Structure 1
């Protein structure tokens, strides 16, 4: 069992003791996603795999918040926001924009990327370093801009 999953399970026990139903529900959702992925892949997940799942869950909830707010369902949007807060507690500390730029510059120098044909190779180098710590869509846009410059 990964250290991150063990931490989530400990938090689940604490939420049960505190009778915090909202937090407990969010933690159970996380563990259900992790378990589903383990069953699908028939492997035990490591921390990087769990971080990828958590990142996906946050993105899904942010999309839901946008849709709920557009539909005037502030009650459901509020619930999703609470889940985002709980999930983000288990993600690594986000990087600043300048830190992301520095990592991108290092990856370009390391890989010798010269143009857009190297975009996939570059993103392959960046993803393990930035997964869960930066919005990969924004990173992709920055990489594209640097390669086109």
Structure 2
């Protein structure tokens, strides 16, 4: 499980004296803990790794937005710190599908659902998320689905 990998990594980073990595992993653990607390009031999650991947993907997205803002504001030292955190977080994410693999998955779903136009985009996106959420950046996939259905 990804949680176990994260716990082992924080111990390794602490023993190695790597303060930056330790801090980044503690941020990950904190975000996962907050998500667990939110999930208490909802239906139980069947796949724990899916929940953790969702949290990690959200963290990466937030940091990429911060990097962009810091670079626009000429704050390169802060952008570099965020980039280091992104590298640590991405180390725990499963391998992402390439654009060609994503397009192939979209075409397969399109064929399975009989999707033919933009009116079917919601159904295709929902199925794509159900099948491949942990391996995709859904914002990039959205553009590919639009292109495939246009």
TM range (shorter): over 0.9
Q: Is the 8 A contact 1:119 1:143 kept in 2?
A: yes
Using the size of structure 2 for normalisation, the TM-score is: 0.92
Gaps of 5+ in 2: none
Q: Which runs of 4+ in 1 moved over 3 A?
A: none
Aligned to 1:10: 8
Aligned to 1:72, the other structure's residue is in SS state coil
Q: Is the 8 A contact 1:92 1:132 kept in 2?
A: yes
Q: Distance in 2 between matches of 1:143 and 1:123?
A: 7
Select 1:57's aligned residue among 56, 59, 62: 59
Equivalences, count: 146
Q: Distance in 1 between matches of 2:93 and 2:132?
A: 11
> What's the CA shift for 1:78?
0.5
Q: Distance in 2 between matches of 1:88 and 1:106?
A: 27
Gaps of 5+ in 1: none
Q: Is the 8 A contact 1:130 1:136 kept in 2?
A: no
Root-mean-square deviation (CA, aligned residues, Å) is: 1.4
Of the structure 1 ranges 36-45 and 85-94, higher mean CA displacement relative to structure 2 is found in: 36-45
Aligned to 1:118, the other structure's residue is in SS state helix
> What's the CA shift for 1:53?
0.7
> What's the CA shift for 1:118?
1.3
Map residues 1-149 of structure 1 onto 2, 5 A cutoff: 3-42=1-40, 46-148=48-150
Q: Distance in 2 between matches of 1:133 and 1:69?
A: 28
Q: Distance in 1 between matches of 2:139 and 2:59?
A: 15
Of the structure 1 ranges 124-133 and 56-65, higher mean CA displacement relative to structure 2 is found in: 124-133
Using the size of structure 1 for normalisation, the TM-score is: 0.92
Aligned to 2:115, the other structure's residue is in SS state coil
Aligned to 2:135, the other structure's residue is in SS state coil
Aligned to 1:131, the other structure's residue is in SS state helix
